């Protein structure tokens, strides 16, 4: 199970992205994915300015819960948004949750993505969130 985001990391994202950040209680991420999420929030602001991210959870991969207002536009927009989000999900599958390197891989049962180096020094990673 992934831990809640470290409060100082949450505050840094909140300061940058304001109400585009989901509530702290809905964010379960380790520090290695912060820059991925930072990029996602920046990109979604220009690509889907009316979309809101309502939850983020690292659980084997990056789970992204969004809401898109039903404003009478074509429902296929939701499908397009889901597809658009896939690039971040795919990237999370190979991004180490601990150090952010691109050498992460799925650790099966534990449902975390980590590089070999961090896997060997798990305690260090856990201690620093
Ligand atoms: Zn790592």
Mean pLDDT computed over 111-117: 92
Place of tokens 């989000």: 85
* Ion ligand 1, residue ranges at CB < 5 A: 96, 98-99, 101, 115, 118
Top pLDDT among 111 and 55 is at 55
Mean pLDDT computed over 97-103: 95
Q: How far is the CA of 128 from the centre of ligand 1 (A)?
A: 12
Which two three-digit tokens encode residue 69? Answer: 């207002």
Q: How far is the CA of 76 from the centre of ligand 1 (A)?
A: 37
Mean pLDDT computed over 107-129: 80
pLDDT score, position 125: 72
Of the chain, the percentage scoring pLDDT greater than 70 comes to 92
pLDDT score, position 69: 85
Query: CB within 8 A of 51, min separation 6: which ones?
Result: 44, 66, 67, 68, 81
The distance in angstroms from the start CA to the end CA of the chain is: 13
Q: How far is the CA of 110 from the centre of ligand 1 (A)?
A: 15
């Amino acid at each position: 199970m992934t831990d809640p985001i470290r409060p100082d990391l949450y505050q840094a994202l909140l300061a940058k992205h304001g109400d585009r950040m989901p509530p702290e209680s809905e964010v379960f991420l380790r520090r290695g994915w912060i820059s991925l999420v930072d990029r996602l929030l920046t990109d979604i602001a220009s690509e889907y300015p009316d979309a809101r991210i309502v939850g983020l959870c690292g659980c084997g991969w990056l789970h992204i819960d969004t809401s898109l207002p039903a404003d009478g536009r074509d429902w296929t927009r939701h499908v397009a948004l889901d597809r658009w989000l896939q690039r971040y999900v795919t990237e999370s599958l190979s991004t180490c949750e601990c150090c952010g390197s691109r050498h992460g891989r799925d650790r099966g049962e534990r449902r975390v993505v980590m590089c070999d180096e961090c896997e060997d020094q798990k305690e260090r990673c856990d201690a620093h969130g």
